[in-house]
Amino acid sequence: MKVAAIIPAAGIGVRMQSQTPKPYLMLAGKPILAHTLEVFEGVKEIQEVTVVAHPDDLDYCREEVIAAYRFKKVLRLVPGGKERQDSVYHALKALQQEDDLGVILVHDGVRPFVTPEQIRQVIKAARAHGGAILGVPAQDTLKRVSPQKKVIHTLDRKDIWQIQTPQGFQAGLLRRAFVEAYSRNFYGTDESSLLEEMGQAVTVIPGDPWNLKITTPDDLRLAEALLPWLRSRKT
């Protein structure tokens, strides 16, 4: 059974404070999205990739990223929706005629430092357990704070993980999770929350703090500084 990846890259990136959407900002002379796709292109377990772009950016994404860097596994480019969940669902609908898909991965387009080994671990765990996600244990003290910026209480961080992507799921299970979520008008913050909503357990695979999501100008500066070292670790 095939493995497909969905790469959402439809956000406008308000926190980046740039007129250029963040997937197309340059990182070491190459769009961030191109760095991300390059990793998935090199993972032999993945047969195909679907990219989700903002409707206004479809031509740019097709010409300046997919064609310019000759990504052979990117078979589809679909327009994004209002929310991330809608964007991923658009991609799922584009894949609905493929009944030979075993696992579907979802990975942020602006998270370019994921390693092939992390991707393989998520695929393996998704096949075995239905759903799997990358995450790292919380390191800082975490407190619940009121709207008035007053501490309500301190959380026990030993059970708190910060979740990353890719997230991987058996194809039929992911499709059902989306259908059930929309039937209940439920919007989750990530794909795994849709499985949680319908009572399906999701396995967490230990990730890496350097699997950065580039969201702010400081993130981009950090990524530029760390790029040579992080790229040397990709195995």
Domain ranges of the chain: 2-232
Per residue in 203-226, pLDDT (tens digit) is 999 999 999 999 999 999 999 998
Residues in the chain: 235
CA distance 13 to 21: 6
Q: Is the pLDDT of residue 103 over 80?
A: yes
* Contact between residue 110 and residue 36 where contact means Cβ atoms under 8 Å apart: yes
Per residue in 65-84, pLDDT (tens digit) is 999 999 999 999 999 999 99
Return the HEC string of the chain: CEEEEEEEECCCCHHHCCCCCHHHCEECCEEHHHHHHHHHHCCCCCCEEEEEECHHHHHHHHHHHHHCCCCCCEEEEEECCCCHHHHHHHHHHHCCCCCCEEEEEECCCCCCCCCHHHHHHHHHHHHHHCEEEEEEECCCCCEEECCCCCEEEECCHHHCEEEEEEEEEEHHHHHHHHHHHHHCCCCCCCHHHHHHHCCCCCEEEECCCCCCCCCCHHHHHHHHHHHHHHHHCCC
Per residue in 116-127, pLDDT (tens digit) is 999 999 999 999
Q: Which CATH class is domain 2-232?
A: alpha beta
What tokens appear for 53 in the block?
């772009």
Q: Is the pLDDT of residue 49 over 60?
A: yes
Name the residue among 216, 215, 210, 202 with its Cα closest to residue 228.
210
- What's the pLDDT at 235? 52
* Contact between residue 69 and residue 37 where contact means Cβ atoms under 8 Å apart: yes
- What's the pLDDT at 202? 96
